[in-house]
Chain A
Amino acid sequence: MNKRELQKQQTRQNILATAEQLFAERGFLLTTIDDIAKAAGVAKGTVFVHFASRDELIYAVVDKLCHECDRLYEQMQGFNGDVAGILGIHLDILIQFECLYRQLIIERTHLPEQAQLRFLGMQSAISNYIWLVYCEQMQDGTVKQLEQALLFNTWLGLVHYYLMNGDLFAEVGRQANLLLTYKEKLLNHFMLLIQI
C-alpha cells in the first residue's frame, strides 16, 4: 500500500471511529455529518468521499459493531457451561458496547433498513447460541420448557428495558455502566424465573 492509500484508509478509519463515538454519545438521529466532520477534523466533503450518504455511514458503524460482537460471540459457540454462564457472556459483550448498543435499540426503527437487518441477523445467532445451551438443561429437567423465541425475547425484554431506561436506574452521568451495575441482579432474577 502506498502512502496515499494508507492516508486515505486512516482518514476513513478516523471518520468511522468519530461517528461511532458521537452516535454512542448523542444517538444516530441527532448527530449530523457536520458534527462528525468537525469532530474528526476533516471537511464535510471528505466524509462524503468515504461514505456516499449518511445512511451508508450509519450502516458502516452498525456493521462494525456487529463484526466486533460476532468475534466475541465466538465464545458462545460450543460453550460448555450452563445457561447462567452463557447469559453472563452475552451481558459481558453488551457491556463493552453499551452506549452504542443502547442508541441502536432505542432508535432502531428510524435507522436505514440495511442497518436494521444487519443487527437483526446478529440477534438470531445469539438466540441460537443461548438456545443450544438451554436445550441441554431442558433435557436435564433443570429449566422450564419454553419456546426458543420467547425465551430470547423475554431475556432481551429485561436487559433492553434497563438499557433503554438508564436514566431511571442510574445517577446522571453513570448510565454508561448500567449493565455492569445490574449484571448480577438481572441474571439472578432471570434464572429464578426459568429454573425448576
Chain B
Amino acid sequence: MKTCIACGMPMRAKEDFAMGDENKDYCRYCARADGSMQSYEEKLDGMTEFVMATQGLERAVARKVAAGQLAELPAWKHREGE
C-alpha cells in the first residue's frame, strides 16, 4: 500500500489518489484542482488547519506540530533551510 509523500495518508482506494490516478505518489488532499501537487507552504497551511480542527490547539503550536509532521515525509524531508 502506498502512502502519500506529501502528507503521509495511507492510500488504499483508487479515489484516495490525486485525480484517482494510482500512479501518483500523492493523495487527493494534496492535489490542486489541476492535479499538480501542492507546495510546501500550501501543505503547511492545510496541515495547521487540520491540527487545529482535530485537537483545538492554538495556531502557533498547531503550526509547529504540522511542520514536524511534514519534516518526516519524503516530499519535504530534504528541503533546504528547514
Seen from chain A, the residues whose Cβ lies within 8 Å of a Cβ on chain B are 74, 77-78, 113-114, 117-118, 120-121, 123-125, 127-128, 131, 147-150, 152-153
A-B contact sample (20 more), CB < 8 A, given A120-B57, A123-B55, A124-B50: A74-B10, A77-B10, A77-B12, A113-B64, A117-B64, A117-B68, A118-B68, A120-B61, A120-B65, A121-B51, A121-B65, A121-B66, A124-B54, A131-B54, A148-B54, A149-B56, A150-B56, A152-B54, A152-B55, A153-B55
Instruction: Say what secondary structure dominates the interface of chain B.
Output: helix
Residues of B within 8 A of A120 (CB): 51, 55, 57, 61, 65, 68
Across the interface, name the chain B residue whose C-beta is closest to A66. Answer: B72
Closest 3 CB pairs of A and B: A149-B56, A117-B68, A127-B54
Check A124–B56 contact: CB distance below 8 A: no
Complex partner residue of B53 from A113, A114, A118, A148, CB under 8 angstroms: A148
**In the complex, chain B residues whose CB is within 8 Å of the CB of A128:** 50, 54
Residue of A nearest to B56 (CB): A149
Task: Report Cα–Cα, A127/B65, bound state, in Å.
Answer: 14
A-B contact count (CB 8 A): 49
Expressed in whole angstroms, the Cα–Cα distance for A19 and B50 within the complex equals 32
20 contacts between A and B (CB under 8 A): A77-B10, A114-B68, A117-B64, A117-B67, A117-B68, A120-B61, A120-B65, A121-B69, A123-B54, A123-B55, A124-B51, A125-B54, A128-B50, A128-B54, A131-B54, A148-B54, A149-B52, A149-B55, A150-B56, A152-B54
- Complex interface: chain A residues within 8 A of B54 (CB): 123-125, 127-128, 131, 148-149, 152
Question: Which residues of chain B are near A74, meaning CB under 8 Å?
Answer: 10
Q: How many residues of B contact A (CB 8 A)?
A: 17
Q: Which residues of B contact A (CB under 8 A)?
A: 10, 12, 50-57, 61, 64-69
A128: nearest chain-B partner, CB-CB: B54
What separation, in Å, do the CA atoms of A114 and B66 have in the docked complex? 12
Asked whether B55 lies within 8 Å of A124 as measured between CB atoms, the reply is yes
Residues of B within 8 A of A78 (CB): 12
Query: CA A189 – CA B51 in complex, angstroms?
Result: 27
* Cβ distance A179 to chain B, nearest Cβ, rounded Å: 21
Give the Cβ gap from A52 to chain B, nearest Cβ, in Å: 18
- Cβ contacts under 8 Å, A121 to chain B: 51, 65-66, 68-69
